Amino acid sequence: MREYLLSNLSVLLKLLVGISLTGVLFYFVDLKQMVIQLRVLNWQALMLIFLSSFLLLLMQTLRLHLLIKHYIPMYFNTFRLTLIGQFFSNFLPGSVSGDVYKIYFLNKECASLTSAVTLVAIDRIIGFLLVLFFGGVYFFCFSSGQVDIAVDISKTLNFLLLFVAVILIGLSIYKTSALVQSKWDRMIANFKVECKKFCFSEFLFFLIVAVGAYFVRLLKFFVLIWAFGQSLPVVDLMLLVLIIQLVGMLPLSVGGLGLVEGSLVFGLSLFAIAPDIGLAIALVNRFIVWLFSLLGGLFWLTTKKQQRREIV
């Protein structure tokens, strides 16, 4: 009972944080100018935003499918799983997130629990590492005068120090906790087992798809910014995506509500894009994410009905 109450309290706090952060953004932004920016958006531009977002969803699904195809042979089923996971992450905040649902589904489809956790973790980690890698490439190769390079390097060093500190803490826990060590050893062993299922050409294709998904993500934000009459070089989008990724990972709100929008407005302001335009871009981005998430909700309801029929 106590755990149930704590879980509900956590969900409530996340909702309050997300709503509060969004409210702060609306308070500090010129709402009249933002509405004007939204009215400028025509249906052709909105269609391009939708198509680029849908292409990103297809690429991310393909990245996951290449990992789980031994358990889920059909690409469409992986696509449906991706959308349902997105629905859980955005509309059903609690103990069951999108990744937890994916693990549950894979475990139900004959994958061991450890295998399911490993595969979903690989998908997440590869996506995150690519964002870090290209973010580092931006800092050391493409950082322009629009953003103070000294500030960029300082932020990078602070992040690296934090990253190293987390690793050291993790290693200390690993050495002192037999339980954690046992789970980690099983994870590593299972990771090796899963890797053996891939030949070199399959692994190379997976990496190509993962990199392709990253650049399609850049394309999505390029189209979003272009739709509002702004222009931002693709290489500068590497910094923008890095900021959104790092802030969006903080488990402080439901589906990153308020966090993603705030980081997007802040990131765009580094390139002299006004906050009212940045918030308009962020709202359209959130609208598209929720639209696909609702489609995932429909898939989930259909799946539940099919399961009830099978039970009957």
- In this predicted structure, the answer to whether residue 143 has a pLDDT above a threshold of 50 is yes
Q: Which letter, b or e, does each residue of 79-109 get, where b requires 16 or more Cβ atoms within 10 Å of its Cβ?
A: bbbbbbbbbbbbebbeeebbbbbbbebbbee
Q: What is the pLDDT of residue 42?
A: 81
The per-residue pLDDT for range 109-124, each reduced to its tens digit, is 766 777 788 888 889 9
The per-residue pLDDT for range 63-85, each reduced to its tens digit, is 999 988 888 889 999 999 999 99
Q: What is the pLDDT of residue 79?
A: 95
Query: What pLDDT band is residue 150 in, cutting at 50, 70 and 90?
Result: very low
Q: For the full predicted model, state whether its pTM sits above 0.85.
A: no
**How many domains does the chain divide into?**
1
Q: Percent of the chain scored above 90 by pLDDT?
A: 27
- In this predicted structure, the answer to whether residue 95 has a pLDDT above a threshold of 60 is no
The per-residue pLDDT for range 198-246, each reduced to its tens digit, is 677 778 899 999 999 999 999 999 999 999 988 888 888 998 998 898 8
Q: Concatenated DSSP letters for 249-278?
A: TSTTSGGGTTHHHHHHHHHHHTTT--HHHH
Q: Kindly state the average pLDDT of the residues 50-66.
A: 95
Q: What is the pLDDT of residue 249?
A: 78
Q: What is the pLDDT of residue 217?
A: 95
CB atoms within 10 A of CB 309: 8
Q: Concatenated DSSP letters for 4-66?
A: HHHHHHHHHHHHHHHHHHHHHHHHHS-HHHHHHHHHH--HHHHHHHHHHHHHHHHHHHHHHHH
Check residues 291 and 305 and name the one with the higher pLDDT. 291
Q: Kindly state the average pLDDT of the residues 254-259.
A: 81
- Domain that includes residue 302, residue range: 2-311
Q: What is the pLDDT of residue 196?
A: 67
- State the average pLDDT for the chain: 79
- How far, CA to CA in Å, does 283 sit from each of 9, 51, 86, 198? 27, 17, 17, 40
Q: What is the pLDDT of residue 4?
A: 45
Query: What pLDDT band is residue 149 in, cutting at 50, 70 and 90?
Result: very low
- In this predicted structure, the answer to whether residue 144 has a pLDDT above a threshold of 60 is no
Q: What is the pLDDT of residue 83?
A: 94
